[in-house]
Structure 1
Amino acid sequence: MADWISQNLGNETPVHLNAFHPDFQLTGVSFTPLSALEGARNIFKAAGMEYVYIGNTESKYKHTYCPECNTMLINRSFSLADFVNLERKDGKFFCSNCGKEIALFYPFDDF
């Protein structure tokens, strides 16, 4: 799947790997182990995917990092997202540390 997404959709396509957590009528099923999600993330990263996120768990991989220099660009906490270390020029976003253009769609002017 990682190779197919990279080759057919592009390596800037965001990939979200979400942990299962027991709820409602599935309370007897275990949480997805963080190690399994991190292993899956490693596979996607090895395929060249630049934006691979782990959700539904407290992981450092819920944030967005620059694929070039690994600087944190978007800090996520629950339903909030803070842009940090990002610059916007002519409607495009760039890492303020290394200058790499970041694939980010944000149509609002309040950045």
Structure 2
Amino acid sequence: MTNKDNQSNISQHAKQAFDQQVESLNSDTAQRLREARNIALSQTEKSVWLSKKWLTGAGAGLAIASVLAFMIVPQLTASKLSPLEDLDMLSADVDMDLYTQLDFYQWLDESLDES
């Protein structure tokens, strides 16, 4: 007799013994076992649902972090301009109001620094 046949034989004997024990249970015990089984199955379904919900949230968070890391952050770091570049951008529109009221803008800058 090979090992596989021996395992199959043991499995058959165990199944027969289990079936005999189930058939010999009284109705109260069988009812309590069914209730316990149903409770265990409902708890398993809840935990599976919670784990799916958690995985969905984690996936969404990872997607948002990826978008921020690869699209928005490089644009923010590339847009930092030196003060001379800012002045060049302001004067590019040929807005002479800035030059004619330069004293006002200097006063505004000083008052903001003081407060």
Q: TM-score range by the shorter chain?
A: under 0.3
User: Could you say which structure has the higher strand fraction?
Assistant: 1
After TM superposition, the score normalised by the length of structure 2 is: 0.21
Report which of the two structures shows the higher radius of gyration computed on alpha carbons. Answer: 2
After TM superposition, the score normalised by the length of structure 1 is: 0.22
Q: Which has the higher contact order (CA 8 A, sep 6+)?
A: 1
